[in-house]
Amino acid sequence: MAPLDPSGMDDEATPKPRFVRPYTITAGRTESSVDLPMEATLRTQGDGTGGLSAAALKVLEVCDTRSVAEVAALVHMPIGVVRVLLSDLVEHGHIRVQATITNDSSRDERIELIERTLRGLRTY
């Protein structure tokens, strides 16, 4: 949705990039349409990976049972870029996002999660 060059700095059109600019990987998109907290874990589902970009495939390959933050670390891409790629994979049915606590979570859901965490920590 955001313009690539809001300042109209056309003379910057052919810089000497030291690396691939992140928005190139995401085809110019800067926002993900799916809610993807850092700790949210992903599960791959379905098959067929036709039409996916190399970057999206790389993400798909490592994301099963891992969190958004882990995927970003493993593929060496900034978190925002990985969110856009993961969001596409969700929308195309390649992966699903497992639940986390959000702003909409009820107090009961929060208490249930914290109690489960406590039980786990005590025996960790």
Give the residues lining the site for another protein (CB under 8 A).
Answer: 2-7, 9, 12, 21-23, 26, 30, 37-41, 67, 69-70, 72-74, 78-81, 83, 98-103, 105, 107, 109-122, 124
Decide whether 60 or 81 has the Cβ nearer to another protein: 81
Residue written as tokens 């596409």? 88
Q: How far is the CB of 50 from another protein (least distance, A)?
A: 27
Q: How far is the CB of 58 from another protein (least distance, A)?
A: 15
Q: How far is the CB of 12 from another protein (least distance, A)?
A: 6
Determine how many CB atoms are found less than 10 A away from the CB of residue 72.
21
Decide whether 41 or 89 has the Cβ nearer to another protein: 41
Q: How far is the CB of 11 from another protein (least distance, A)?
A: 11
- Angle among Cα 96, 104, 63 to the nearest 5 degrees reads 20
Decide whether 14 or 50 has the Cβ nearer to another protein: 14
Question: How far out from the chain centre does Cα 73 lie?
Answer: 11
- How long is the chain? 124
| Cα(92)–Cα(46) distance, integer angstroms | 10
| Cα(59)–Cα(103) distance, integer angstroms | 27
Which structure tokens are listed for 27?
């085809």
